[in-house]
Structure 1
């Protein structure tokens, strides 16, 4: 994993992130065509108005090939929100998820946030296991119909 670097997100990463989210979530979760535009809007907002002192995105790369992402954005003055955490299938099992999560949480702590929150789905068992191992707490769970499928939506939080 020494050959994998984490670098700041750049605007030219957006199309890759939108495509990867759309393709992988359609293939793995059965999500419909409404999901990728949501990712695009999140990235457009980040590019247009993020505060670099309090918000950051990272791209994991190996030999110029993108392998994943994670973002820390402001939810409110005291709370950071984790967003767009993604690992491509060939990068799973390399402990890269731990590295990305550690980087994001450390940034949030250093930026002065007191806690972090995230929203995910129960079907993301590996990610939920990772959050739990880092001390995140499941704070809410409810069945929903989103992106063309029935899901169990989850909210998680951690004190920093």
Structure 2
């Protein structure tokens, strides 16, 4: 599959659909020390290896994505790192004991629209509020930076991710069948309108 970031848009396969990796569970889970001190910090270039490895490992193991997925993750990070100097961007890493366990990237798509990409949380750390913290941080930042809309794309095979976005007020604006990474899936494009809205 040819990876082409400029082709992003409703109804097209997106590099930005990595929001599916959020997949935060809403089941009641007992707290333990492993989750009591999750810190959120800014993304650094040295985190790239972990972001790539974690996404590729998860999607190959649990969704059997083919080898083109690794190329797409790399291309997405190339795009994002090219926008790191943009003050409107916000790239975050969640870590436990100085070990990355999650990530989320917010960058400008237009002067008024921002997009969430590469939203991922290690499976062992889901269902404990960390995903909500990451998503809340970038939505708040998008509002403060003057964006009018936040976009994110996922697949309907990830209902937990869909519920998370919807709990923040995101609305599905389009769905389309998509063949990507060797799989037939249905892509769901979400938007959150910030102008006149309230969190």
**Which structure has the larger Rg?**
2
Matched residues in 2 for 1:23 and 1:40: separation?
13
Q: TM-score, normalised by structure 2?
A: 0.77
| Equivalences for residues 130-145 of structure 1 within 5 A | 130-145=164-179
Q: Which runs of 5+ in 2 are unaligned?
A: 1-34, 195-199
Q: Residue 2 of structure 1: CA displacement?
A: 4.6
Output the TM-score relative to the length of structure 1. 0.96
Q: State the partner residue of 1:25.
A: 59
Cα deviation code 1:42-101 (max 9, x no counterpart) = 112222333441001100001111110001011101110011100111111111111000
- Aligned position for 1:41: 75
Does the 8 Å CA contact 1:14/1:40 hold for their aligned counterparts?
no
- Structure 1 window deviating more from structure 2 (147-156 vs 27-36): it is 27-36
Distance 2:76 2:59 in 1: 16
Deviations 1:95-127 (A, max 9, x none): 111100000101111111011011111111111
* Separation in structure 2 between the aligned mates of residue 105 and residue 147 of structure 1, nearest angstrom: 29
The count of aligned residue pairs is 160
Counterparts of residues 2-151 of structure 1 (less than 5 Å) = 2-151=36-185
**Which whole-Å CA distance do the structure 1 matches of 2:48 and 2:170 have between them?**
28
Larger CA deviation: 40-49 vs 129-138:
40-49
Residues 20-62 of structure 1 deviation map (CA, whole Å, 9 limit, x = unaligned): 1111011111111111211111112222333441001100001
Ranked by relative contact order (alpha carbons within 8 Å, sequence separation 6 or more), the top structure is 2
2:4 corresponds in structure 1 to: none
| In structure 2, C-alpha distance between the alignment counterparts of 1:30 and 1:142, rounded to whole Å | 21
Rounded to whole Å, the distance in 1 between the matches of 2:91 and 2:71 is: 18
Structure with more strand by fraction: 1
* 1:119–1:156 CA contact under 8 A, matched in 2: yes
Task: Spell out structure 1 runs of 4+ moving beyond 3 A.
Answer: none
